[in-house]
Amino acid sequence: MRTWSALIIGAALFVAFPSLASTLALERVVLSSGGLGYFEYEADVDGHAELELDVPLEQVDDVLKSLVIYDDQGAIGTTTLPGREPASRALHDLPFAPSALDSSAETLLALRGEEVTVRGPQTLRGRLVSVEQKQHTSPSGEKIQHRHRVTLATDTGLAHFVLEEAESIDFSNRSLSGDINTALSRLASGRERDARRLTITMQGDGQRRVRAAYVVEVPIWKTAYRLTLSRDTNATEAAMQGWAILENMSGVNWSDVELTLVSGHPVALRQALYESYYVERPEVPMAVIERLLPNLDRGSIALEGAAMEDSAAPTARLGSAPTASMAEAAPEERFSAAPSAIGINAEEATTQINFRFATPVSVAQGQSLTLPIIDRALPAEQIALYRPTDTASRHPLASLRLANDSDSGLPAGILTLYSQDSQLGTGTLYLGDARLDALPSSDRRLVSYALDQNVTIEQDEGDSTRLDSGHIADGTLHIVTRERHTATYRMKNTAGEERSLLIEHPMRRGWQLVAPDDQDIELSEGHYRIPITLAADSDGEVLEVVLERPVEESLALIDGSRERIASFARASELDEPTRARLLEVLAHYQTLGALDSEIEAHAAEESDIVADQQRLRDNLAQVPAGSDLARRYLTRLDDQESELEALRDRLSELRQRHADARQALIDQVRRTAPSD
């Protein structure tokens, strides 16, 4: 039989919610917005001590992973914990398969050959032979299922009894009875899912206090804010109240514990450390004299260079972040925060914000608690926020720009907005809800809570292209054009007061904002935030947002499009030397064009003469030799040969002039600078 116990030495001891351990007391709780909880217990011990704890089963893996024990004057001993083996392995040493325990009939059938004593309507003693299922019919004609006839081999022969009628069955083999009881006990132990009891031994001399801490999964704590605007529309501050909402689902009551709430995003991992794992081993045949099986060689690595150097240790600033996230920060790291009814200190670490409550907190198991984390005035500016991609495309959102001028950040949370009502005196009006993202110290956030129907915005868009610049290099005209996208916003404000408006215009990759030219424009998640002030009761105010991007184009001046070259030569956007160069190129193209036309005309004339000569030769073959018509054809052929000779001389001259003109064009366009 395999038994298992958890033995953890050093800082990897195990502790969990010790609801039944009177020597341990929960002193500190740190809850993370990442869904983790840090629990720290303290106990006074004297000399060697032994602590027993009941551990919730669902927390075993997390506690095995994270627990740490502090005993400054003693030494950590051992910790034992009941195993968690599968039922198949816990019952592997039984004399029958675990499935035989599913019914008494299967158990007796699996124990065939064992001697038993049966008591009931009759008393029998013998060895089990068989178990057969029989159907019996009642006097009313109904069929009764699941009646089993058991056959025993007795001293006088075979005997039978009905299993369902037996009052008791005793095994003569007492060790077999013990095996069955052990198996049933293991199955019952495996069903105990609520808790595991573990024992921790502490070794040392004298009285001292030890601490045990661990990190386990808990419900995340939430943040809810209330923001009250002043009835004065020119007010620059708003009253902010922030509340943390948490639940105690730890399994024990929290009584006067030191509570800290952490807002951050730590990396959280989980591993099934409480499961039992076994390495599968290959089975090899027995080595005998006739057959040897050497060890399998899987290669080797040279000893030198095999060990890699340790990675550089993280800096102290980065290395301190995990500790600060779930443990108590040093007093010198604390920042002052706004006072609250129960007192709170806020600390901003590298990767999170810690809220430590100065007054002990008590929460019963299964109950929720709401605690204030901020109660103070924050700088606030009322703004109308317009994003064209929103569903309400004609109206902006009523928003606030909140600034955090405190020493620590504020976690993300839902925000409920109120406004003091001048007609109700001290009363307030509900304005709407908003979402507040994490707000670091000295930063600002926009929160939107309603639709501002006093402001109406119409948008129109258009695209255009204009020539920007050009130059000639290596026989190529390099042109830069600018594509322009213009968005026109026409705005109307029917409110009797000014509106500070932010227009969030979408950015385009590769495009540049050229208008408006405002130093106060901001960037936010792929948008330009463009501020504008709308006068009270104004109509027809216009804002143009212009985006541009350059587009480069190349045009070969040799064998290029003469029409495009001509259009660029007339473009006033190009400098005068470049346009003069293009005009010179066009003059060469005009010369080449005239020569092309003349060569084409002479070539056509040559083709006509050659075709007519073929006609004359065909006719000459059809008339009598020496006739007047034959002599006429011969005279005409002779005259055409003279014309062809002169025409071909002219074509040769024209083609040479064309080649010279083309070379002049090439020389012209290959000049490297317009001033050449």
* Core vs surface per residue 78-114: b (16+ CB within 10 A) or e: ebebbbbbeeeebbeebebeeebbeebbbebbbbeee
Q: Of 78-87, 105-114, 553-562, 662-671, which range is least confident?
A: 78-87
Position 611, amino acid:
A
Work out the pLDDT band at 368, boundaries 50, 70, 90: very high
What pLDDT, in 10s, does the model give residues 5-48?
222 222 233 333 333 334 678 899 999 888 889 999 888 888 88
At residue 489, does pLDDT exceed 70?
A: yes
Q: To which residue do tokens 């948490």 refer?
A: 246
At residue 305, does pLDDT exceed 70?
A: no
For residue 390, give the nearest of 506, 547, 492, 494 by alpha carbon: 506
CA geometry: angle 210, 215, 216, nearest 5 deg = 130
Position 629, amino acid:
L
Q: Are 197 and 53 in contact (CB under 8 A)?
A: yes
Q: Are 637 and 616 in contact (CB under 8 A)?
A: yes
Work out the pLDDT band at 578, boundaries 50, 70, 90: confident
Per-residue model confidence (pLDDT) at position 12: 31
- Read off the pLDDT of each residue in 88-106 and give the average, rounded to a whole number: 69
Q: Six-digit token pair at 44? A: 């006074």
Q: Of 45-49, 227-231, 487-491, 645-649, which range is least confident?
A: 45-49
Better-predicted residue by pLDDT, 508 or 560:
508
At residue 676, does pLDDT exceed 60?
A: no
For residue 262, give the nearest of 439, 437, 32, 440 by alpha carbon: 32
Round the average pLDDT of the chain to a whole number and report it: 77
- Read off the pLDDT of each residue in 113-138 and give the average, rounded to a whole number: 84
What pLDDT, in 10s, does the model give residues 396-451?
888 889 999 888 888 888 889 998 865 555 678 888 888 888 888 888 888 888 88
At residue 303, does pLDDT exceed 70?
A: no
What pLDDT, in 10s, does the model give residues 172-224?
888 777 777 777 766 665 555 566 776 777 788 888 888 888 888 899 899 99
Work out the pLDDT band at 284, boundaries 50, 70, 90: low
Position 7, amino acid:
L
Distance CA 295, CA 304 (A): 25
